Structures are given as C-alpha cells and as structure tokens.
Structure 1
Amino acid sequence: MAFDNEPVTIGLLFSQSGVTSVIERTQRQAAMLAVEEINNAGGINGRELLIEDSDPASDPLRFKSEAERLIDVGATTIFGCYMSSTRKAVLPVVEQRRALLFYPTLYEGFEFSGSCVYSGAAPNQNSRWLADYLTQTYGERFVFVGSNYVFPYESNRIMKDLLHHRGAQVVDEVYIPLRHNEDYIERAIARIKAAGPAVVFSTVVGEGSVRFYQAYDRAGFDRSKQPIASLTSGEPELLAVGKDASIGNVTAAPYFSVLDTEANRRFVSAYYRRFGPDQPISAGTEAAYFQVYLFAEAVRRCGATDRDSVLRTLPTFSFEAPQGPVQVEGDTHHTSLWPRVAVVGESGSFEIVREAQAPVRPDPYLIEYDGEFQMTSPQFGIGGGGN
C-alpha cells in the first residue's frame, strides 16, 4: 500500500537520438510538459509525479533493455515508443512484469495487449479518411514508398485494400532501409518517374522521410496533381523538410497544431513557452501529452497505480484533449479520436480540409472495414460516405 504522499514514478521511453528522434524528442517534451502541469496543480491527490528518463536511440533492442531498467527502478507505467518494431520489443517486457505501456503513436492496428493503452490513431481513424480524400481529389493511380520495417508493410497492405475498394490501383511499391543512403532514395524517385502520373503514399519515417520529401521536390513533380500523402509526416518533419518542399503534400491525423480550440490554444501556448516557439507540435506530440493526463486522472479516481486498476478506470471518463474529447475503450484499450485530413498550404502550414464531426471509436481490427460515416470539409461541405 502506497503512503498518501508517496510520489508516483513513471518512465519515459522516447529516443533523443537516432533515426526517429526528430519526432520522439517532441513526444518526450510533451510528456514532460504534462507532468510539470500536473505537479504544478498539486499532483495526483497530492502525490508528485516523478520521471525516470531514457534514450533508447531508435534501436528496438535498446527499447527492450531500457524498458526493463525503468521497471526495475520503479517506473511500472511507461510512456513511449514510436516505431512498431520498438513497441513490439517492449510489449513482452511489460506483459511479463505486469507493467503498463502508454503508446502515443499511430500504428497499423490488428493488435491487443493487456499491458498497453493505444492513444495514437488506428487505421479507421486515419487510413480510411486519407483513402477517401486522395481518390476523390487526385485520381486512381498510386505508388507506395515506405521504410523497411513492420509498420510500412502492414499500413501499405491496409491502404492497398482501401484504395482497391475505391476503384484505385497501386502501380508500384518501394521500400527504403531505415538507415538509408541517398542512392536508395534516388532509386525510389526513379521508380516513381517510371510509373507515370500517380499519387505517392509514403510510410517513410524519421530522417528518411525528410530526405525523401526533399528529393521529391528536387525531381520537380507537380504536387497539385501528384502530392506525397502520408500518415507519418507531421509538423516536425515539415519543419525539417522546409516550406518549399512541403507545399501541396497531404497528411491524415487526429490532430494538427493549427486547430482553433481553447484546449489546443492552451496546449500550444504552454508548449512554446516551455520549449521555444520554433518547436513543432504533431499528432504524436499531442497524444504523448494527453495520455499522461489520462493516466493521472485514472490514478486520481481509483487511488491506485497498478496496471489492472488503471485499466479498469480509464474507460469511465473522457478527457478534453487539444484535438477534442478523447476516451479509452475498455474492450480494445484503443482511444476514440478525431480524424482529420490536412494539406500543406502556400504559407507552409497545414490547412485542414476534412474533419470528423464527432470522435470516432477505434476499430483496430477493421471489423467495419468500409462502413458508412460522415465527415465535414471546409472546402467541400459535408461529404465522404463509403469510409
């Protein structure tokens, strides 16, 4: 039994170095901001939140060993992981140790763990929306370019089915090593040119994503007709890519930092004050922020920090996240989120072109694979259908 004023220790498992650190650094910062805000407001029923930090350096093996170390020092709830390969390395550790992982990143779905809370988008909360927008706006021919690990292969499999259902075809599919060189990217560009007019669906992540977008810009593709569309390229990648190479490209996510809501204005203002106005904020950043609040509220309500108590309590309330109210589903441990599609405008910032009218429940197994839905579009009014 914990003493009433005993601190609550949590672990942060985000890469501060390595190929995916461009996004994971922002996730770590957002989690730190949430902890500081909670502590400044009196903690969790007077109990301070303490952080055990780490740098797994974008390496799945180091993610596993760092997860073990964090649990050993008392951080039985861990917030972190970006790539699916790192999540899959950590899950056996938290499951065997009856610990809990809060995972703040979109992923390919088709997974359940009794020791994981998924607060990033499942495929029905991003891929379906992107497939509709792309086929309705740009046409029916696609080239897939991805990083060579589990998420791109699985995400591409899902997107290929969604596109086929909409009468579109994938004319080529290319993969780039995570630790790539420019030759791999140039080969991908050559394949895109050889395919003829087509939209590019990219699941390239981290530093490779930045290099790929820049090479695509240098190659001179008309992005008003042949954009790069992605689930993984948010504001951090946009900043690294540069304005000129970003305009016209498309992303689907539950959150964009341009959202004009009171909760988001507070979050963005606090984040910029804490880390600087030049720091990018993406969907993964926002999820890393609100999931700390979900944990803190669950602990406040149930008065315990063990995995089972927290998991029982999470589905009993919603939280006003920057993207809108979110809630963890008890049967899947995934989170109801607000799907959106945005295009990079002439200013170099995302402009939201479609968004959900209400939070969309997670469907990680795509049981309702292409069920009907409604979405709003600032450009097109209410539309969608067939998602």
Structure 2
Amino acid sequence: MVGPTRRGVLSGLAALAAAGAAGAPVRSGHAAPPIRVGILHSLTGTMAISESTLKDVLLMLIDRRNQAGGLLGRRIEPVVVDPASSWPRYAQLAEHLLGVEGCDVLFGCYASASRKIVQPVLERHGALLFYPAPYEGQEQSPDVVYLGATPQQQAVPAVEYLLSADGGGVRRFYLLGSDDIHPRTVNTILAGYLDWRKLPREDFVVRYVPFGATDWAPVVNDIRAFARGGKTAVINTVSGDANLHFYRELVRQEVHASDIPVVAFAVGEQELASVDVTPLVGHLTAATYFMSLETPENEAFVRDWQAWIGDDLRVVSAAMADLAAGFALWTKAVEMAGSPSPEVVKITLRSVSTRSLGGDVVALDGATNHVRKPVMIGEIQATGQMMPVWLSDGPVDPVPWSRWWRRGTRILFDGALP
C-alpha cells in the first residue's frame, strides 16, 4: 500500500483546519480568542505530592510561551482544576474542561486509574491528553500521548540491573505496590520476567497496600522476614504520599540500602523533597530523567524553573521533564497544523520532535503514541538528588505490549487474568 504524500497530508490538514475555523464566529477588529489548555492534576489528597508541581510547571511553560508571543498569534490560557485524588472526579472535571470550558487539549492524570477513567471522556470529545507518568503499558490510544516510561523502559531494566553483579546479585524480590492498575500490571509483568530468568517462585512475593496507607510496620516486618532467605530487593510501585510513611518506617526499623535495597518507580526528587533523606542514601530509583544531569538543556531549565517559582531549592522531577517535552511537542504540532484542533494535531504530532532535558531527541511513535526514552538507575544522595549508577545505551523503545505479561498471569493467577 502506498502511503499518503506530504502534499496530500498537508492538503488534508489545511482542509481540517479550515473546517474547524469555519464554525468559529468572526471577530473583526478583535483579538483572536485564546487557546485553552486544561490542567487536570490533583492539588490535594494523596496524589498531590506527585501532581501539584506538575500544575506549576505547566503554568510556567504557558507563561514563557505567552511572553514569547503565544501560539498562532493567540494567547494560551490555562484552565486549572483539582480532581482531589478522586478517580470519578477526574472524569467529571475532564468533561467540564472539554464540554464547558472548551479546552483544546488536556495535560494531566498520574495514577493509571485516573487515566483509565478519563479515556471514555476523551473518546466522546475526540480530545487529546498528554499523560506524563510512568505507567504499566498494555494500552495504546489515539487520544493519549504517553510521555512516561513503560515497564520496558523502567521496571524490566531495573530488575536486570539488580540481578547483575553491578546491582548486587539480588536473588529474591519483594514486589510491593499500591492496589491500583499500574502496580498490579507491572508486578505481573515482572513475575513473568523473573520466571523466564528461572527464579524460583518462592523467591518473589507480591503485596499490595491501599492508597494513602500510613501503617507500614507490618509490611516492613514482612520484608525483613522475607530477606532472611537470601539477598533481597524491594520493587516499589507505591503511589502518592504513602511513600513518605513507607520510607519513614524503613528508617525506623533501620532497613539500610546495603542490606535490602529499595528501587522505586514513582519516587524521585519531588517526592523526597519533604523528608530527611540521610538515612535513605543508597536506595534506588529507576527513571528516565534525574535533576543532576549535566546537559545545557537541563541546566537552563532548572535555572528557569527555580527563577519562575521563586525558590532555588525547588526540584525538577522526571514527570516535569516529560511534561516539558510534551508541551514542546504539542506547540510544534499546533504550529504545523495551523490550528489547535485535536483532530489535526493528532496527525501533525507524528512529524515533530524536540529535545529532552537530557539532550535526547523526543519524537512520538505514530503507531503507539509512546516515545523512546533513555533509562537510568540512580542512588539517593544526602542532597536529595539522584546519582546515576547505570545508564542505558541510548534511548530504549517503549514496547507498550509486554511479552512477559501473559506469562506473569500464569505464574500469579494460574492462567486467569488479574
């Protein structure tokens, strides 16, 4: 089959953009209406520790763009709402942003439950969501741009590292997560991977805790008991502020990284900013960005962010870095389309690219709406920053549909789907 020519694509885009403009009232002699951006991140509740700063960085990106003249000669207007860490509220507010506020695009969600519940709203409106969090894969949608890491870009490399001599030669794994879609799916994938690596079933266990859990003594006691069977690591897919209570209990029970390393997928500089990290030095996080990266792009962004927010101690997280890349991709796609219409932007997104804060080229895989990303594993330092101890050889393909998931369901659920 012969694909569409560039001229044909551009002609189609022009027709779509014109159709979108045809329905708009003429405002002769008046400024063009703003382009409205919906910001759907929790500012309160258990997810606020990860999401509230994402709202702030989006406001900075919009402010800087408006200072430079806006987009298509129009001002960008943010519309901020607070889902308050309530999954139904995400869907209600997504409907409000699209149906009432007339937003042209949404940036938001973090936990997979929030993304999943918003997707039917996106489908009804033909809308577009830029989603910044690491997530479980096993999904693709034309209405979602997946900016965060998949298990192939985070969880699997982290376990590979821990199994290696450089990672300590771990032989037992405690898979710990919140009772949510992301942890359950990631742990199923990891169970399949560990089985493929010939790890005996008794050498990995899975445990889930409620969102916002505060009593971690029984869990840490169980981890310590399990670790008596051999070199053990904890794979942490806990979400939100429950992580603060978990790490504090590790400190209280004197669980050191040299004895039982914890590698987290949703804990970074932002989540650790409010705790004394000195006792946590050496524990790990797997991510696609660290604030300590020494690149011109990162150093300039950190300076600009801290100046804009008015705080030289404010950190930059991987999700913030992913949002910066996503916002740049969106603005370039809008410019190429000549319109903020999601219908057109979904097409032009396939043809634009930008630079990540790490200096890598970021472009959307048009087949899956995911991005290739470098993988890095870092140790917590006394400063609260992460020191990379392992880096992938360049960007890693997302592979959203994991080869290990089906195998993991057989291991954990006797063939029944979780």
Q: Same fold (TM over 0.5)?
A: yes
- The amino acid that maps onto 1:166 is R
Please tell me whether residue 353 in structure 1 is matched to residue 386 in structure 2.
Answer: no
CA distance in 1, matches of 2:361, 2:56: 22
What displacement does 1:73 show?
1.0
Q: Please, which of 261, 271, 292 is the counterpart of residue 237 of structure 1?
A: 271
| Mapped contact 1:23–1:236 kept (Cα < 8 A) | yes
Please tell me whether residue 314 in structure 1 is matched to residue 349 in structure 2.
Answer: yes
Task: Please name the residue that 2:161 is paired with.
Answer: 133
Equivalent residue runs for 1:198-237 within 5 Å: 198-237=232-271
CA distance in 2, matches of 1:5, 1:52: 18
CA distance in 1, matches of 2:329, 2:103: 17
Equivalent residue runs for 1:218-297 within 5 Å: 218-275=252-309, 276-297=311-332
Task: Please name the residue that 1:158 is paired with.
Answer: 189
CA distance in 2, matches of 1:226, 1:279: 29
Please tell me whether residue 11 in structure 1 is matched to residue 38 in structure 2.
Answer: yes
Task: Please name the residue that 2:124 is paired with.
Answer: 96
Please tell me whether residue 196 in structure 1 is matched to residue 231 in structure 2.
Answer: no
What displacement does 1:132 show?
1.3
Ranges of 4+ aligned residues in structure 1 off by more than 6 Å: none
CA distance in 1, matches of 2:404, 2:189: 13
Unpaired runs of 5+ residues, structure 1, are: 370-387
CA distance in 2, matches of 1:118, 1:320: 16
CA shift in 2, pair 1:245/1:166, >3 Å: farther
CA distance in 2, matches of 1:273, 1:356: 32
| Mapped contact 2:214–2:246 kept (Cα < 8 A) | no
What displacement does 1:367 show?
5.1
Question: How many residues of Structure 1 are paired with residues of Structure 2 in the alignment?
Answer: 367
Please tell me whether residue 113 in structure 1 is matched to residue 146 in structure 2.
Answer: no
- The amino acid that maps onto 1:148 is D
Q: Deviations over 1:94-114 (max 9, x none)?
A: 111111111011100011112
Task: Please name the residue that 1:56 is paired with.
Answer: 83
Of 155-164 and 264-273, the range deviating more from structure 2: 155-164
| Mapped contact 1:135–1:166 kept (Cα < 8 A) | no
| Mapped contact 2:109–2:131 kept (Cα < 8 A) | yes
CA distance in 1, matches of 2:352, 2:404: 25
CA distance in 2, matches of 1:94, 1:17: 23
Task: Please name the residue that 2:115 is paired with.
Answer: 87
CA shift in 2, pair 1:39/1:128, >3 Å: same
What displacement does 1:75 show?
0.6
Q: Deviations over 1:216-272 (max 9, x none)?
A: 121112312311111111111222332123211111111111111111111111111
What displacement does 1:26 show?
1.6
- The amino acid that maps onto 2:187 is N
| Mapped contact 1:33–1:289 kept (Cα < 8 A) | no
Q: Please, which of 171, 180, 191 is the counterpart of residue 213 of structure 2?
A: 180
CA distance in 2, matches of 1:339, 1:272: 25
| Mapped contact 1:189–1:215 kept (Cα < 8 A) | yes
Equivalent residue runs for 1:2-81 within 5 Å: 5-71=32-98, 72-81=100-109
Q: Deviations over 1:145-178 (max 9, x none)?
A: 1111111111111122223333445432221111
What displacement does 1:347 show?
4.2
Instruction: Determine helix, strand or coil for the equivalent of 2:81.
Output: coil
Superposition RMSD in Å: 1.8
| Structure showing greater Rg | 2
Give the TM-score normalised by the residue count of structure 1. 0.90
What displacement does 1:121 show?
0.8
CA distance in 2, matches of 1:298, 1:171: 45
Please tell me whether residue 340 in structure 1 is matched to residue 376 in structure 2.
Answer: yes
What displacement does 1:128 show?
2.0
Q: Please, which of 109, 130, 142 is the counterpart of residue 173 of structure 2?
A: 142
